[in-house]
A and B are shown apart, each in its own frame.
Chain A
Amino acid sequence: MKKILSASVIVFMLFASGFWAKNIYAQDTQSGKTVMNEMLLAYYYPQTDAKSEISMRIVNRQGQVRQRRLTMLRLNQTSGGDQFYYIYFHEPADVKGMSFLVLKHLGRDDDRWMYLPAIDLVKRISSSDKRTSFAGSDFTYEDVSGRALDEDAHELIGEESLGTYSCQVVKSTPKRPGETEFSYRKFWIDKVTHLSLKVEHYDLKGKLYKVYETQEIQTIQGTPTITKAVMKDIENERYTEIAMKNVSYNVGITSDIFQERLLRRPPRQWIGE
């Protein structure tokens, strides 16, 4: 054990540059935390429930395109706490009917199930890994479902205007490095809507590799909602465009549809063909 320790110490000492140093000095400030919390609530938790139709367009280096179309149902248990998600894929044709059920928990791994129509199989997924891609896009599972406030140290590092928006800039540094692809992220959060307009991802050597940008915000039922966004992977020259259609809030989604057995028979009142 001693050897292991000394080896790791050497390793860390030698590379105590970059992210390690930043980590030590990363500040978890109250102001940063407040701004970030407001963003999480505005982005992941608006209203009690929501139904939206999402189209994704993934474009690779060769210019080839993959299309995805899905319906997402969301129900909050508590604001800023547990949430239920039901995700149903309409397109591409060969995955039509594939669906996912996510019971998102704070502080422990989510409960997840999926349904594969091709072999009529419902399977429980146990995943501790949130770095995986969401449906092959440049968004990660974590980007879609959110990362808990406590997992990063948030520091308000300034104010900047993006176009007509005036933003607060927050730098978020993971408290447990090595589990994420990024060493830190920088958020540009609109002061009025509390939505993030831009997120920059920096790799372990501090190089910018991925940028998220909000392209359109609509106010739906009084709730400012991001309806178009893009995630660009700079290194791999890929990007994913995401567009929300038919967003409606407080439609009366009940918790009884978030059941494993209902994956085979999707709730048709919410999910069209």
Chain B
Amino acid sequence: MKLERLTQAVLGRPKLVIGLVAAISIFFMAQFPKITIDTDPKNMLPATSPVRQYNDKVEKDFVLHPDVIVLGIVNTEGIFNQQTLTYVKDLTNAVRQIPGVIVRDVDSLSTVENVFSKEGELIVRPALGDIPKTTEELTALRKSILDNSLFVGRFISSDGKAVAIFIPIEPAANGKEIADKIRAILPIDPGKNHFYLAGDPVARDTFGTEMFRQMGLFSPIAGLVMCIALWFMFRNVIVIVANMAAAMIGIIWSMGGLIGLGFPVHIMSSMSPVFLMAIATDAVHIFNEFAFRLREGQDKRSAILETMKVLGGPVFYSDITTAVGFAALATVTIVPVKIFGLVIAFGTLVVLLMSFTFIPALLMFIPEKHILKLASVQGKGEKFSPSLIRMGRFCVEKSKPILLVGIVLFIVAIAGLTRIHVNNNMVHWFKFNSEVRTADRVMNKYLGGTSTAYLVVQAKNDGAVGDPAFLRQIDGLQRELEKDPIIGKTFSLADYIKRTNLVMHDNVPIFNRIPDSKQEVGQYLFLLQSAAKPRHLDNVVDFSLKTANIIIQLKSWDADAMKSVIGRANSFFASHPLPEVTNFKPAGIAYFNMVWNHEVLWGMVSSFLWGLVLVLILLVFQTRSFLWGTLSFLPLLFTIALIYGVVGLIGKDFDMPVAVLSTLSLGMAIDFAIHFVGRFHQRYKEDHRKPGGDGLASDSQSHLKETLIWTIARPGKGIFLNAILFALGFAIMAFASLTPYITVGVFMAAIMVLSSIMSVIYLPALIQLWSRKLIKQTPRADRNCAGVVFVDKKGGV
């Protein structure tokens, strides 16, 4: 194999190789200061995508701000008291001083005009002007504000217990930094008042910041756990250094390359370090085999060469399957996902390259006296754990019941799979009691909703929106939408016109409707233009009265909420067609999230399925046998089916982190099966050649059983230990404060444990069941397969 020759060359000049690797690493490391971070989910879709371009156009045409922070003040005794009202006024003024805030467009009760009718007079004044001093004045203020349907659900809750200040920020501004600055000016002793900060920029940028913090915290911890595991296995510092260095080099080269090429680090690619660390554990096989060779008394150099000779195949194949799984993500249309897949695939290939060059070179530097120690750690002779022997016997003898249980589990998993709900909710990336998620929940409880969507209704001709019939149609649609409790508040030009009609007619309730003549609508519209900031009307209608925008507040960031909007709008327009309407189109952050979620998640699902097929093909190619390839593939399939079955059964959304992990599970879950099958073959053939094997059918059957029990007890032990140790390493991530990291931790642990169980318990049962066909096909000990023989992640062989 050519890769062995590479190792041979490396061993001639180990210092040069290490120096070269270090130099390249320094080059990639030098790219790190150029890092740019992009946590804006909007960039999931390229700037040229039609959805994004249309969204930009809607925001531009209707003077809407894409990024708005909502500052909520909740007072369970009601906000109509001097203290709370003063907070509203002072905070509205104070937030306008914060850099990055779009000063003029901060909206709250103290900046919007309240137009109402009192004793025949039309009153136009700030909804909250001077703070009332008497109880009567407070009562009057309460009435004037709560009577205005334009305010209720948006600026104030209908029960008068919560108010909101809308703080638009510049597109380049960081929502978390601004949120922190707002927090800093909040009163220290606010009495019964509670303050909440919600909105897309807060969640998005808090996540972005937290993400790197958590990554910085948990990557080293996971690394440390692995170091400890390695220490117990090999008791040698250089081994630990070599393994961690291989992981680090993989991370530095791939991340440095990403940054150097000018790509921003996205939510997904930020997870690369942990993923690459998991992938780099493959190097353990090399150390294990190396120690084994040393124990046999070989010298350092030939031990390394022999190790690489037998391991070349399996290390190559297990890394290639992983790389293929991730590279399959390049088929997804979403650019950050594509980049993420390629980064990890590249990192995996770097790890692979290091396994053949850097690691052997480093092993050359283990001092002689340590080598003896390293060799002795590996113990002498075969020691079996009695419980594993018992388990092995059990597996071999009760193969049919085991398979039955497996089939039942598989059916349950399939049932779970059918219940999988594809959805992504960014707020749910925070823990239930986290500040961000609590704020979102509280705001959604009191007010119209923290997520925003737009429905843009476009007519054929200029002036059409001013037609009373058109406005009634929009009004009807809004009432239909609001039937869904998730859709909290909608507002449009129809609301403004109805409100004006009511006020012009001295609050006689019957006039809370769209007027009958176009002229009346036109004059009200004209009045509205003089009674509000021009921007507020520009938000809902264009100058030529051709296009109307319905602003929809949603109480959930689920993609389903937006689907409900679209579904209801479709059925409404189907049953109430308007000849004038040429089309209606959704936009806004909620719609945007729905679209990219759909594309990302389904894109990942399809690339994952392609990955599965590619891995199966690789396995068949590696074993040169369709049956053996399929057999090695089954534990992977079982593991994945079970994990996703559980996801479906417990009702966890199939969201972005879960989707990303599916690809990783491909590469991870396959390793144990490769090892198990390889070790089994090797043992089976070796024993077969021993004297005493007479080739009788019955003996061949018992020989098969013995070999299986041996495989379960010996390499099986290594597989279990390996699985448990690395599962523990990742399980630590369950203590992270962001749910995607918890998901990663739990998932990795589950993959390790399940795939080890599947490999050690179900493979023997399957081999037993299909023995006739399988054994006939026992693969020739070709070089691709033979290498598997001595492979084991854990020492103790």
Give every chain A residue within 8 A of B543 (Cβ-Cβ). Answer: 58, 60, 62, 64-66
Which of A40-48, A121-129, A212-220 has 4 or more CB atoms under 8 Å from chain B?
Answer: A121-129
Of all chain B residues, the one with the shortest Cβ separation from A117 is: B523
| Given the contacts A15-B94, A15-B97, A135-B529, A207 and B185 also touching, CB distance less than 8 Å | no
Tell me whether B94 and A62 are in contact (CB under 8 A): no
Tell me whether B538 and A135 are in contact (CB under 8 A): no
B530 at the interface (CB under 8 A from A): yes
Cα A64 to Cα B519 with chains together (Å): 21
Bin the interface of chain B by size. Answer: 35 or more
| Given the contacts A94-B523, A98-B523, A205-B99, A121 and B504 also touching, CB distance less than 8 Å | yes
Q: Which of A17, A132, A134, A236 has the largest number of chain B CB atoms within 10 A?
A: A132
Q: What's the nearest-Cβ distance from chain B to residue A119, in Å?
A: 6
Cα A21 to Cα B522 with chains together (Å): 45
A136 at the interface (CB under 8 A from B): yes
B91 at the interface (CB under 8 A from A): yes
Cα A17 to Cα B181 with chains together (Å): 14
Give every chain A residue within 8 A of B189 (Cβ-Cβ). Answer: 3
Q: What's the nearest-Cβ distance from chain B to residue A196, in Å?
A: 22
| Given the contacts A64-B543, A133-B532, A118 and B523 also touching, CB distance less than 8 Å | yes
Tell me whether A181 and B504 are in contact (CB under 8 A): no
A247 at the interface (CB under 8 A from B): no
Which of B124-132, B324-332, B448-456 has 4 or more CB atoms under 8 Å from chain A?
Answer: B124-132
Of all chain A residues, the one with the shortest Cβ separation from B189 is: A3
Give every chain B residue within 8 A of A116 (Cβ-Cβ). Answer: 504, 523, 527
Q: What's the nearest-Cβ distance from chain A to residue B425, in Å?
A: 33
In chain A between 1 and 48, which residues have their CB closer than 8 angstroms to a CB of chain B?
A: 1, 3-4, 7-8, 10-11, 14-15, 17-19
Q: What's the nearest-Cβ distance from chain A to residue B789, in Å?
A: 70
A108 at the interface (CB under 8 A from B): no
B60 at the interface (CB under 8 A from A): yes
Q: Which of B96, B537, B542 has the largest number of chain A CB atoms within 10 A?
A: B96
Cα A95 to Cα B542 with chains together (Å): 18
A204 at the interface (CB under 8 A from B): yes
Tell me whether B187 and A129 are in contact (CB under 8 A): no
Tally of chain A residues near chain B (CB < 8 A): 56
Tell me whether A14 and B60 are in contact (CB under 8 A): no
Q: What's the nearest-Cβ distance from chain A to residue B184, in Å?
A: 7
| Given the contacts A94-B522, A95-B523, A123-B121, A132 and B531 also touching, CB distance less than 8 Å | yes
Of all chain B residues, the one with the shortest Cβ separation from A8 is: B90
In chain B between 98 and 124, which residues have their CB closer than 8 angstroms to a CB of chain A?
A: 99, 102-104, 113, 120-124
A61 at the interface (CB under 8 A from B): yes
Tell me whether B113 and A129 are in contact (CB under 8 A): yes
Tell me whether A128 and B129 are in contact (CB under 8 A): yes
Give every chain B residue within 8 A of A117 (Cβ-Cβ). Answer: 519, 523
Give every chain B residue within 8 A of A158 (Cβ-Cβ). Answer: none
Q: What's the nearest-Cβ distance from chain A to residue B105, in Å?
A: 8
Q: What's the nearest-Cβ distance from chain A to residue B146, in Å?
A: 20
A238 at the interface (CB under 8 A from B): yes
Of all chain B residues, the one with the shortest Cβ separation from A178 is: B93
Which of B80-88, B573-581, B685-693 has 4 or more CB atoms under 8 Å from chain A?
Answer: B80-88
B683 at the interface (CB under 8 A from A): no
Add 20 more A-B contacts to A15-B94, A126-B122 (CB < 8 A). A3-B83, A4-B82, A14-B94, A58-B543, A60-B538, A62-B543, A65-B543, A94-B466, A95-B526, A116-B523, A118-B517, A118-B522, A123-B504, A126-B125, A129-B125, A136-B537, A141-B530, A203-B104, A205-B103, A209-B104
User: Can you offer 10 A-B residue contacts whose CB atoms are under 8 A?
Assistant: A4-B86, A7-B90, A15-B97, A92-B522, A94-B521, A114-B122, A116-B527, A129-B126, A131-B533, A205-B97
Q: Chain A: residues with CB nearer than 8 A to chain B?
A: 1, 3-4, 7-8, 10-11, 14-15, 17-19, 58, 60-62, 64-66, 89, 92, 94-95, 98, 114, 116-119, 121, 123-129, 131-138, 141, 178, 181, 203-205, 207, 209, 235-236, 238
Q: Chain B: residues with CB nearer than 8 A to chain A?
A: 60-61, 63, 82-83, 86-87, 90-91, 93-94, 96-97, 99, 102-104, 113, 120-126, 129, 184-185, 187-191, 466, 504-505, 515, 517-523, 526-527, 529-535, 537-538, 542-544
